[in-house]
Amino acid sequence: MTPAEAYAALLRRSREIGIIQSCTALLSWDQQTYMPTYGASWRGEQMAYLSVLAHQKLTDPQVGEWLTQVESSALTEDPQGEEAANIREWRRSYDRAIRVPQALVEELARVTTLAQQVWQEAKAQNHYAAFQTHLEKIVRLKREEAQAIGYTDHPYDALLDEYEPGMTTTTVRTLFSHLTRKLMALVQRWSTSTRRPDTSLLRRDYPVERQKIFAEGAAAALGFDFSRGRLDVAAHPFCTGIGPGDCRITTRYNPRYFSEAFFGVLHETGHALYEMHLPAQHAGTPLGSACSLGIHESQSRLWENQVGRSLPFWEHFFPRLQQTFPQTLVDVSLESFYFAINEVRPSLIRVEADEVTYNLHIVLRFELETEMLTDNLRVEDLPGAWQEKMSKYLGLTPPDDTHGCLQDIHWSFGGMGYFPTYTLGNLYAAQFMAAAKRHLGEAELQQDFRRGRFTPLRDWLVQHIYQHGQRYRAQELCRRVTGEALHTEPFLSYLREKYEPLYTS
């Protein structure tokens, strides 16, 4: 077999695995949207079967032989070439997969599918004990996975690398340590200011059907294509790319709180724009896949916050919002509304947190994850540890576990190592937006937003981020787009520039 033939075989295998993964994505979407409650057990069997099938196809010894053949060929001469990028990422996936026993893959899929259903019920009933035994199994299995994959400094490295290739626990700790000190000072400064917004205007009567119409209109304006996607309701908002031409997002509506659904839709729309603009011709291969979850989160946070919570955005959309809810907002000015959606106030729920306090929620989860993984924190002690860290970082005490350690879905699906990507995404987003302003002009972008024109920014992101897939690793992509390695100052500068005038004028 020639290197070209081996590469063609790898392409076919990659696309086969991609199809299997798209099937599991569709089953997962159905589970969180329309699946009957009692379908969880059989769904676990389905997910376990497909996970094992994908694992078998990836760990086939032939894959290793094909990789060895192409790695020493001319196909890898250009490190950023299409073939070399695919080969690099196939090698990474293969090396991780062959270390993980098939039985562990199967057990993780089965356990986490059932755990998601139990988590949803435990959260609704504020019954941590019902979920505890499932989380104990998941933590044990993730420890086994980390040991099987291997690591240099910390077992968390093996899990973090799944979501953010090349990132380490040490680097995250360093970034988070610097960011936390700065953020806590800013939170103290702005949350105790005598200037306070009237946030009660966000908790008036917002009928769900009208919220849905308004949110869909905003998503479409940003570029969400409803002929290639859909918006549904789920207990925890998410976006999933099923495949080319099929990207699905969800939200949850609260008739007495506008921000919950609307900014959730903008967040998931940011994810969807990335998925919808990945090169379809490379579907099922690394070049047709997102760079990393940190880069993915940069897009959700960029569109939700840097665009969706900006004043120019609402100069366009606020008159339409008043038309949609005429009685609710009859006495509300644009300035009052803008201040309300940008309130800085420590809160209990991560997905409802403001831009300034949000990352403190992530630091809390990162610390708890690393402690559970190394057995420095027993799962049975998680509720108390959560309360201690919530008090330390945000000065709050959750009234119950529903508002504490049960609020997120991630641990139920085995997503240990996922949470840091949210903060990494915020940092990437700030650097990307600063670069976009330099290239497109800050005044020009603001004028675009006032007119409801988001195509220039979207096209710039497609050109510099979306179209590359996994051609570059996240940190290399950041340097190419912004000219700098990832660091905290662009994000902190963005916060100061935006919030200082609101709270000190």
Instruction: List alpha helices for 345-488, DSSP H.
Output: 358-373, 382-394, 420-440, 442-450, 455-464, 474-482
Active site residue 268: yes
Quick one: CA dihedral 70, 73, 77, 83, positive or negative? Answer: negative
Q: Are 279 and 469 in contact (CB under 8 A)?
A: yes
Return the CA Rg of the chain. Answer: 23
Rounded to whole angstroms, the Cα distance separating 199 from 117 reads 34
Comparing CA positions, the residue from 261, 286, 260 lying closest to residue 14 is: 286
Rounded to whole angstroms, the Cα distance separating 350 from 370 reads 19
Q: Are 24 and 47 in contact (CB under 8 A)?
A: yes
Rounded to whole angstroms, the Cα distance separating 157 from 486 reads 18
Quick one: 209 exposed, middle or buried, by C-beta within 10 A (0-12, 13-18, 19+)? exposed
Q: Are 424 and 432 in contact (CB under 8 A)?
A: no
Bridge partners (DSSP) of residue 250 are: 232
Rounded to whole angstroms, the Cα distance separating 190 from 243 reads 43
Quick one: 421 exposed, middle or buried, by C-beta within 10 A (0-12, 13-18, 19+)? buried
Query: b/e per residue, 77-103, with b = 16+ CB within 10 A?
Result: eeeeebbbbbbbbbbbbbebbbebeee
Which tokens hold the place of 278?
Answer: 């990945």
Rounded to whole angstroms, the Cα distance separating 86 from 97 reads 16
SS3 content of the chain, % helix, strand, coil (to 5): 70, 5, 25
Q: Are 66 and 457 in contact (CB under 8 A)?
A: no
Which tokens hold the place of 391?
Answer: 């008090």
Which amino acid, residue 88? R
117 CB neighbour count, 10 Å cutoff: 21
Annotated catalytic residue, options 268, 304, 367, 369: 268
Q: Are 260 and 243 in contact (CB under 8 A)?
A: no
Residues annotated catalytic, as ranges = 268
